[in-house]
């Protein structure tokens, strides 16, 4: 019996020893296997330009025994270069066979799992190199555009940028779409922000500083001022022809009826102020002094039976020597020279170097408001410099035997269009105008007569008039009048939109009224 117990005890010891040996062997085998399956990983952290920020070397073990699944933990937010903090944004294997994996920044640590379908490929070995692309953080910002009462005018401007970055305002001049829709606004020059945050360099260059400490701005805007000149007009300095009334400073042809101002006034019948001789019978009416017996102050003589009525001086050396024709009349302001041989078409001729022979009568008297023609700065004979198309307003009543036309006139000083009509005393047309050439509707300011463009509120209703055209849809011809060119796929400046959408996306009905 005792012998049997001893035998059983020995057998139990052997069994326990065998189990312990097997257990120990299993542990050793797992360690050997784990060591043999470790992955040596080199990680290079670079910025967006590829410059190295940091290098990390890791020896990774499989997550599960016998599996080729590894996990690399990347530190978040502790990479600093030039005092700037960088964050990892994506990872890429430097081995061509491995794909690019994009990761999201969700927590202080990012786990990047290497796909087991690739890491065990023996052709590339077990040593893998990776690149972690890093970038500085970007911060969201918003810019609100309001009027002086704080009402939102247009959609906010927003985005994200690096810390302490200057951002240009998208809306420096715009048409409001929210409050007071359809009105043109501009950014007010002075805002409630210091120069360290807000820079108004010019009307087209306005910037704000955005970043972690500057996430939001409220920009105050004001209605865009509308230029309404009381008297349309302007001068052209240079050579050219004027057909109708207008100012001519320089040399060229003066065609039409009106005043010769500057070197004297030509206000009535056969009047000549300037350098030249008046031979025959004619009257000098207006501002000009005749000193002595038949002498006209300036460089010229009054010879014959001519009368000087009025008082004033002929100042300047404006010579009327002939180049160019004086047909009907117009304005000569300053000491402009009319050089060459030309004709005074009316009741007499101006022949040679400024001689008026015969009864040089200019018929008409002046009163009221009259706009005629345009001054075209280039062309014709004479001398001087300058150019452009200008129209001028003559003051005074007009009652003569000329038949005035109707048509468009352009003031190039203000780039403003007007429409004139000689059938009424007030020759500038006001209010609604349907053009008989292009068949479109226009609106002319009730006081100045200036043509409207853009959004305008008329009698409580909003209308849109074309504010931009890439082509000249009208042209001025030799007679000084503007003619519609009827170009394909073109829309004249100032013409009203009808039964369509405006460029900023609003619907107007057949009468041009904004459909709310």
Could you write out the DSSP letters of every residue in 429-463?
A: --EEEE-TTT--EEEE-TTT-PBP-EEEEETTEEE
Domain 139-223 class, CATH top level: alpha beta
Cα–Cα distance, 461 to 456 (Å, whole number): 8
* Residue written as token pair 């060119």: 485
DSSP letter for 495, please.
Answer: P
Stretch 122-147: mean pLDDT: 69
Cα–Cα distance, 57 to 86 (Å, whole number): 19
What homologous superfamily is domain 407-508 in, according to CATH? Cholin Binding (2.10.270.10)
Tell me: pLDDT of 167 over 60.
yes
Region of residue 230 (left: phi > 0; alpha: psi -120 to 50; beta: else): alpha
Find the range with the poorest average confidence among 175-189, 306-320, 378-392: 378-392
Stretch 274-294: mean pLDDT: 38
Find the range with the poorest average confidence among 236-245, 405-414, 486-495: 236-245
Burial class of residue 73 (count of CB atoms within 10 Å of its CB; 0-12, 13-18, 19+): exposed
Stretch 136-153: mean pLDDT: 92
Looking at per-residue confidence, does 128 or 429 come out higher?
A: 429
3-state secondary structure at position 346:
coil
The reported pLDDT for the residue numbered 452 is 95
CA 370, 373, 379, 383: dihedral to nearest 10 degrees? 0
Banded model confidence at residue 210, pLDDT cuts 50, 70, 90 = very high
> Do residues 420 and 406 touch, judged by C-beta distance below 8 A?
yes
How many Cβ atoms are within 10 Å of 279's Cβ, its own excluded? 19
Cα–Cα distance, 245 to 260 (Å, whole number): 10
Q: What's the distance, CA 388 to chain centroid?
A: 23
* Beta bridge partner(s), residue 454: 465
Burial class of residue 498 (count of CB atoms within 10 Å of its CB; 0-12, 13-18, 19+): middle
Banded model confidence at residue 494, pLDDT cuts 50, 70, 90 = very high
- What's the Cα-to-Cα distance from 377 to each of 336, 349, 479, rounded to whole Å? 13, 25, 14
Stretch 472-484: mean pLDDT: 85
The residue extents of the domains of the chain are 1-33, 39-135, 139-223, 295-365, 407-508
Cα radius of gyration rounded to whole Å, the chain: 44
Cα–Cα distance, 375 to 253 (Å, whole number): 10
- Name the phi and psi angles at 167, rounded to 5: -120, 130
Mean pLDDT, the chain, rounded, equals 63
Cα–Cα distance, 349 to 361 (Å, whole number): 10
Cα–Cα distance, 441 to 167 (Å, whole number): 41
**Greatest pairwise CA separation for the chain in angstroms:** 176
- What's the Cα-to-Cα distance from 347 to each of 240, 299, 321, 362, 403, rounded to whole Å? 24, 24, 18, 7, 18
- Cβ-proximal residues to 310 (8 Å cutoff; 6+ apart), any chain: 265, 284, 285, 286, 287, 288
Tell me: pLDDT of 370 over 70.
no
Cα–Cα distance, 391 to 405 (Å, whole number): 14
> Do residues 392 and 331 touch, judged by C-beta distance below 8 A?
yes
- Name the phi and psi angles at 247, rounded to 5: -95, 135
How many Cβ atoms are within 10 Å of 471's Cβ, its own excluded? 12
The reported pLDDT for the residue numbered 309 is 35
> Do residues 330 and 244 touch, judged by C-beta distance below 8 A?
yes
Which two structure tokens, joined as six digits, stand for 78? 């502790």
């Amino acid at each position: 019996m005792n012998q049997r117990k001893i035998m059983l005890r020995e057998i139990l010891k052997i069994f326990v020893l065998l189990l312990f040996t097997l257990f120990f062997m299993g542990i050793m085998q797992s360690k050997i296997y784990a060591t043999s399956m470790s992955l040596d990983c080199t990680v290079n952290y670079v910025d967006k330009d590829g410059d190295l920020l940091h290098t990390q070397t890791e020896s990774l073990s499989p997550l599960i025994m016998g599996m080729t699944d590894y996990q690399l933990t990347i530190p978040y937010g502790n990479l600093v270069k030039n005092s700037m903090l960088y964050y990892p944004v994506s990872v890429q294997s430097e081995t061509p066979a491995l794909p690019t994996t994009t990761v999201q920044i969700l927590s202080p640590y990012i786990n990047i799992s290497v796909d087991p379908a690739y890491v065990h490929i023996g052709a590339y070995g077990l040593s893998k190199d990776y690149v972690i692309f890093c970038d500085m953080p970007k911060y969201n910002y918003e810019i609100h555009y309001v009027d002086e009462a704080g009402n939102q005018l247009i959609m906010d401007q927003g985005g994200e940028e690096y810390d302490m970055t200057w951002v240009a305002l998208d809306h420096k001049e715009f048409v409001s779409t929210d409050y007071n829709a359809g009105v043109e606004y501009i950014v007010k020059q002075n805002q409630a922000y210091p120069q360290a945050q807000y820079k108004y360099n010019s009307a087209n260059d306005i910037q704000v500083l955005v970043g972690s400490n500057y996430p939001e701005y409220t920009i105050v805007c004001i209605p865009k001022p509308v230029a309404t000149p009381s008297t349309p007009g302007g001068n052209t300095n240079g050579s050219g022809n004027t057909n109708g009334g207008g100012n001519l400073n320089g040399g060229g042809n003066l065609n039409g009826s009106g005043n010769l101002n500057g070197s004297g006034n030509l206000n009535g019948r056969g009047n000549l102020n300037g350098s030249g001789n008046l031979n025959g019978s004619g009257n000098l009416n207006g501002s000009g002094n005749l000193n002595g017996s038949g002498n006209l102050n300036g460089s010229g003589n009054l010879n014959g039976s001519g009368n000087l009525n009025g008082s004033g001086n002929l100042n300047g050396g404006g010579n009327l020597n002939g180049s160019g024709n004086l047909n009907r009349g117009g304005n000569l302001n300053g000491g402009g020279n009319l050089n060459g041989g030309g004709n005074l078409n009316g009741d007499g001729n101006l022949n040679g170097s400024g001689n008026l022979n015969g009864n040089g009568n200019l018929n008409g008297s002046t009163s009221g408001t009259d706009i005629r023609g345009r001054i075209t700065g280039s062309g014709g004979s004479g001398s001087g410099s300058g150019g452009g198309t200008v129209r001028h307003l003559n003051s005074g009543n007009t009652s003569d035997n000329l038949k005035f036309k109707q048509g468009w006139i352009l003031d190039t000083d203000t780039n403003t269009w007007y429409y004139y009509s000689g059938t009424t005393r007030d020759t500038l047309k006001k209010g609604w105008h349907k053009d008989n050439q292009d068949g479109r509707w226009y609106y002319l300011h009730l006081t100045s007569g200036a043509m409207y463009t853009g959004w305008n509120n008329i009698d409580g209703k909003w209308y849109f008039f074309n504010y931009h055209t890439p082509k000249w849809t009208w042209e001025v011809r030799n007679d000084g009048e503007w003619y519609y060119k009827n170009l394909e796929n073109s829309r004249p400046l100032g013409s009203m939109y009808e039964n369509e959408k405006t460029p900023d996306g609003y619907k107007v009905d057949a009468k041009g009224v904004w459909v709310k």
